[in-house]
Amino acid sequence: MSGKVLVAEDNPSNQKLISILLQKMGVETVIAQNGREAVDKVASDSFALILMDMEMPNLNGFEATRALRNKGCQTPVFALTANAMTDDEHKCIEAGCDGYLAKPIDRAKLGEIVARYIPIQV
């Protein structure tokens, strides 16, 4: 299994923050600028985990996750979203996400999620 994490996020500040947090854990990070790019990257590379922003241009996170699942992608997908209502979490799971991480990112929760799929350095 690859130790890489695909971060599908259109906001440059969030891309940088998540990348720094993951790099501190010793995890290689690949950025996708939007959902379409995320689907393309998964088709050409393997990842241990996908962190998917749900509100992106071109193909949002819901559509991208559904497209990945329809193509048989088994990689765990965790939704990243500023919408933290119970109904929002349900929509993410319905779209095929394995879990949910609200923004702003809780470092401890991110670490727990990553540690489930990748041996990390503490």
Q: Could you tell me the residue ranges of all domains in the chain? A: 4-117
Query: Do residues 6 and 46 make contact, with C-beta atoms less than 8 angstroms apart?
Result: no
pTM of the predicted model, to two decimals? 0.93
- Mean predicted lDDT score pLDDT of the chain: 91
Q: Is the pLDDT of residue 86 over 70?
A: no
What are 81's strand-pairing partners? Answer: 102
User: Quick one: CATH architecture of 4-117?
Assistant: 3-Layer(aba) Sandwich (3.40)
Q: Where is average pLDDT lowest: 31-40, 72-81, 83-92, 98-107?
A: 83-92
* pLDDT the model gives residue 85: 66
Percentage of the chain lying above the pLDDT 90 cut: 78
Q: Is the pLDDT of residue 113 over 70?
A: yes
Give the residue ranges of DSSP H helices in the chain: 12-24, 35-44, 61-70, 86-94, 107-117
* pLDDT the model gives residue 1: 38
Q: Is the pLDDT of residue 84 over 70?
A: no
What are 31's strand-pairing partners? Answer: 7
Assign 89 a pLDDT band (cuts: 50, 70, 90).
Answer: confident
